[in-house]
Chain A
Amino acid sequence: MHNSRTVPNSSSGRSSLVQKLIIAGILLIELIFAVFAFSSSQVIVENTNLPSKNASVDFNTGAINISSEAMSEIYAMPKVYTLPFNSDPGPVADANNYLTTKDTELLSQKVTTFNKDAWDGSDIIMYEDETIKAYLWKERIDIETKETYNFADITIAHPSQIRRYYAGGEYQMNTRYYPQTMAQTTNAVVAITGDFYNYRTYGVVVNNGVVYRDEPRTKMPYVLFIDYSGDLNIEYCHDNYDVEGYVAENDINFSVCFGPTLVKDGHILTPKEAYNYEGEGWIYGWAPRAAIGQLGELHYLICTVDGKNPGYHGTRSYILAQVMNDKGCYIAYNLDGGHTATLVVGGEVFNRVAFGGQRASSDLLYFATAIPNE
């Protein structure tokens, strides 16, 4: 009932007002700081593992080419053609350089991986220019059961010609194209589906030297890394593996993450290993398969095995390992098989894709000519 509580005198009222203004001012400053701190906390996540340029390589290549050009009338020094190490499509391959034939003698002269006795009688396709030689054929190979294997034996002149393509041109989780469309988009001489990286959210994804994904990889521990020399490397990437460190130290261009390893250091995947494998896909059983292996410097063998169609059963991964090893691959890796496995040459699908039609996928491995278009 004291009015001093409800009706303050004027001087204490002013004092109280000043105090309130001070507090309000301080709180306002805090608010400004808080807003500022919040806005500045929108940190852009930057990739610390940045790519490198190849200035010396580019310069040396250019020096060879300018010499070759200058002395063209006195001495034939071969030019070096290269492509940039990026996600751009390759040049358009000259359609006149494709040859469709059934001349097995000719193919035998071109490659040692061809087994004439196992040839299934279908068309053999060849592409040759100064920078890439590709030969594709089919064999019926009888291990446990007779199945159709589609092979591509490819030699390139420069490591920039083995390339990776992601649907839409960049790493993204929601874009998928038919493999044939991707092969046509990239002007691939030969292309094969890779790991279908955006089917899942885990595993390792590296492209153009940049690590895009390095998620826990218990299910996909064996990762294929292709370096800037064009060599295949397979690493067992356990959960604590330093992928960024490996990529930086080993000049890695891109990765493919599926597995398992089929052939490495003289070891071939065994039936027991395939049976016990807990990784992605049905590794032990019969299924359409896809693989890539290396035969020598810038020399590769890729393979798909037809399955999931009437009369076509696919193969088991350990049988594929044996076949790739028999063909001379000292390293070979299992790619995503099943309905994904698609092999394209000159823009046309070469293998019998499972279930009679292509499945839209996220990525390709492909080989391009390096001869520039006029």
Chain B
Amino acid sequence: MASFFKAIGEFFADFGTAVSKGDFAVKLSLLWMGAGYARRKQYVKAVIMTIVEIALIVFTFKFAMEYVPKFATLGTVQMEKVFNMKTMKSEFNDYDNSFTILLFSLFSFVVWFAGAVVWMRNVVNVYELQKLEEAGKHINTFREDFHSYTEEKFHITLLTLPVLGIVIFTFIPILLLIFVAFTNYDQQHMPPKSLFSWVGFQNFLSLFGGGGLTTTFGYAFVRVLGWTLVWALFATFTTYIGGILLSLLLNSKKTRMPKLWRTLFIVTIAVPQFVSLLLVRNFFANNGIVNTICSNIGLTGFLQHIGLVSNNYIPFLSGPGWAHVMIILINIWIGVPYQMLIATGVLMNLPSDQLESARVDGATPFQVFRKITMPYLLFVTGPALVTDFVKNINNFNVIYLLTEDVYTTTNQAMASSQAKEVDLLVTWLFRLTQDYYNYKMASAIGIIVFIICAVFTLVAFNRMIKGDREGTYQ
């Protein structure tokens, strides 16, 4: 963190020095970006920088200025149209679209930011050239500069495209999501017909139950968040422990045909998850095969008798509590093979010298497991455990496929906020956007999910790699 800010500070310091100590050409570079290069006879670079500068100016006036000035209001001109019978066409006014204004403004900001960095960097570069000239050193020709990008600066060439991709496909959309959380973008304010505008922290207020229009949103949020964390914890640790136990079993010398068993377990991975989940959902449906079997063998009747079940079916996936447990159990079945694979890989690389010496010292198998195997596993798979936890917070597939169309909440307060007891934050968010066009709330929830995941990951990773854990283990 500190080094990051130091780098920024140095960048500005370099720029300051360049501007104050640079000669006329360097100073002129502030206005005409090609000036410094032209003065040092780097004409190709001068032309390129001039083109970049012109492109930036054209971009600013032809594109950005159409959207950025409206950024503060997100548009004021409502769509209006008139039907012209003579041409049989509708004629539209030049209406504002809040969404495009927001999106293209953000895009412009990113481009301008990049432009500013290039502009400052450019001045620093031409000052470097000035110093080279003053010292009488060789100034690279364009060919030599170009060549350096396939040699010592090859990393820059390699990384340009991925970085561009990340900015356009990841960074700008995330920025957009964050900004939408501060607007009233919902069904009542859907562009292009209507405009939406900034509302500050209003959405977060209603999310936490204060000042919002419905009190149930905060009520539902707390419960959904609670289940999300409980689920992530159980889903991560049950499959983790299950996977380790299973791989220990398969690795045991007493197990016959370990390869066959391993293959069988991996078959569950080979079948696409959504197929197996939908099948399992049907098995455990209220009128599904498992319920038929249970009622035939009298289990349903017994459960009814002791008061656990009030209907003539067992609500495996349709009753609160029941569904929660079932989801975690089904997830074990789906998740264990993956963990088994990972654990098997780690177990095969256990340092044999330590196992050997433990055996010589007369350690019991359980002692070996507790003192050697488990610490080693934890050490190697720790980071994977953290990512698993985060992945489970956002585990859309399992929850959505198992409960959609099957689970109906009987909690009216939850229903009023379109939530269900078995919803994770992501599935709730999905329904809010998909069925209710409530983009602003979905964005607010998205930010909360992001914060939870980010904080957890940072804390967990920091603890894990704090000091020299590797050394401690060895």
Do the two chains belong together in a single complex? no
Interface of A toward B, CB cutoff 8 Å: none
Interface of B toward A, CB cutoff 8 Å: none
